[in-house]
Amino acid sequence: MKKTDLKKYKIPEKPGIYMFCASNKKILYIGRATVLKDRIKSYFSSNLIKERGPLVQEAVTKATSIKTTQTKTVLDAIILEAHLIKKHKPVYNTKEKDDKSFSFVVITNEKFPKVLSMRGREIVKIQKKSDISYQFGPFANNNILKEVLKITRKIFPFRDKCRVYNKDKKTKPCFNWELGLCPGICGNKMNQKEYKKTIKEIVMFFEGKKERLIEKLFKEMHNHAKKKEFEDAQKIKTKIYLLEHINDITLIKKQIVEGARSFFRIEGYDVSHTFGKNAVGVMVVFEDGIFKKKDYRVFNIKASSAGDDISSMKEILKRRLKHTEWQLPNLIVVDGGKTHIKITKDVVKKEGYSIPAVSVVKDIKHNAREILGSKLFGDLEDNILSVNVESHRFSLASHKKKSRKLRS
């Protein structure tokens, strides 16, 4: 496939999964995305080999079509991706990573089953396959899977490593029970029949049957209400609410942090001039934990924008985003307040992208006072501030260079 082929697809700016398919409709590669449109565009960048490796580039080259499925949340996309990889076994997913390196959700086969995250290599070592009643996956990222299980556990408290209640040894409830994350098997707080019901709900959840599960829970809630079992009805109502309002923020932060450790590109922008004269705008790049100076750019501001920082920022962002041959950033950092971040987001959206942006607000001494839009980027604040300082340094240096050149 080529980048021009994307024009015939209406790819949503929503979470979901995507499939690169060959001419015989065989699925070559399956992936998931927080924003489908941006993710799929990234496969047609000039840096694809560096970003994803030669195998993925080969899959994209061989593909003749793309299929997408939109999901309500990132969590739904993660679960659907794992389900479809298991079902279709796309050749380039399995080539990219050995089965033993993938992670899986495992539900043990015992009276009170455990719900665990296990690597493929750990599962291979289990001698009795009958020890496992359910296995979901593969999940490519073990850290993301752990976050998925944390979310799942808040909705459906399950047993992982605590002991089953023993009346002779007077087993006490574990610490997770006190936190509301374990049903209290260890302290005789839940019987086998009730726990079996919880396991069925977890199975439906990891089979991607969330909507059917919600319908089932609604029926149970109404039945309890008819019987005036209001406490039980309220518990189910809480489950339904949590399922319908799954918060993706934790998962999206987690993905950003994972990206920052491997391939994550931050672009910083700043404008410099002397009372509107010799105005320049700059772009600096922070990638893979270092400043990538060969990707720095200087934009000579047009006379119509010179002296107006907002108009200048709008101009350089528009000009930058026209360069589709440049690697797109994962995050944009601008200097200024609410107006600056608003204009940045407006330009990015108008150009057909959904790249997140933050702005660094300065005090009267030009020291960083606040980062606007940083809710998802707490772990990257040091990098954001470094990028802002570097963009300011580079804009001043570029402005002085331009001024000297025009004087001479």
**Using an 8 Å Cβ cutoff, are 63 and 22 in contact?**
yes
Q: Is the pLDDT of residue 384 over 80?
A: yes
Q: What residue spans define the domains of the chain?
A: 3-96, 100-208, 264-407
The residue ranking higher by pLDDT, 247 or 202, is 202
Give the CATH H-level superfamily of domain 3-96: GIY-YIG endonuclease (3.40.1440.10)
Q: What would the DSSP string read from start to end of 317-343?
A: HHHHHT-TTSPPPSEEEEESSHHHHHH
Distance in angstroms (rounded) separating the CA atoms of residues 215 and 196: 19
Q: What digits encode the pLDDT tens for the residues 195-222?
A: 999 999 999 999 888 889 999 999 999 9
Alpha helices, DSSP H, located in 227-329: 230-244, 249-261, 309-321
pTM of the model: 0.56
The pair of structure tokens assigned to 206 is: 């990891």
Q: At 219, which amino acid appears?
A: K
Pick the most confident of 51-55, 91-95, 297-301, 325-329. 297-301
Confidence of residue 262 (pLDDT cuts 50, 70, 90): very low
In the sheet that 103-108 helps form, which strands lie side by side, from edge to edge? 115-119, 103-108, 132-139
**Residues linked to residue 118 through DSSP beta bridges, in sequence order:** 104
3-class DSSP state for residue 196? helix
| Across 304-318, average pLDDT | 82
**Using an 8 Å Cβ cutoff, are 283 and 327 in contact?**
no
Stated as kind and residue range, the H or E segment containing 30 is: strand 27-33
Any residues with CB less than 8 A from the CB of 278 and at least 6 apart, and which? 399, 402, 403, 406
Output DSSP code: residue 206.
H
User: b or e along 41-69 (b: 16 or more beta carbons within 10 Å of the residue's beta carbon)?
Assistant: bbbebeebeebbeebbbebbebbeebebb
Nearest to 317 by CA among 376, 267, 389, 388: 267
Backbone angles phi, psi at 272, to 5 degrees: -140, 140
89-98, 100-109, 143-152, 308-317: least confidently modelled range: 89-98
10-14, 230-234, 401-405: least confidently modelled range: 401-405
Q: Is the pLDDT of residue 107 over 90?
A: yes
Q: What digits encode the pLDDT tens for the residues 68-77?
A: 999 988 888 9
Distances (CA, A) of 3 to 7, 51, 320: 8, 17, 19
Distance in angstroms (rounded) separating the CA atoms of residues 52 and 61: 13
Q: Is the pLDDT of residue 224 over 70?
A: yes
Q: Is the pLDDT of residue 142 over 60?
A: yes
| Across 381-398, average pLDDT | 89
Nearest to 76 by CA among 141, 130, 17, 28: 17
Q: What would the DSSP string read from start to end of 41-101?
A: HHTTSTTHHHHH-HHHHHHHHH--EEEEEE-SSHHHHHHHHHHHHHHH--HHHHHHS-GGG
Domain 264-407: top CATH class: alpha beta
**Using an 8 Å Cβ cutoff, are 42 and 56 in contact?**
no
pLDDT at position 217 is 93
pLDDT at position 261 is 45
Q: At 244, which amino acid appears?
A: E
Pick the most confident of 38-47, 73-82, 142-151, 287-296. 73-82
| Across 79-84, average pLDDT | 90
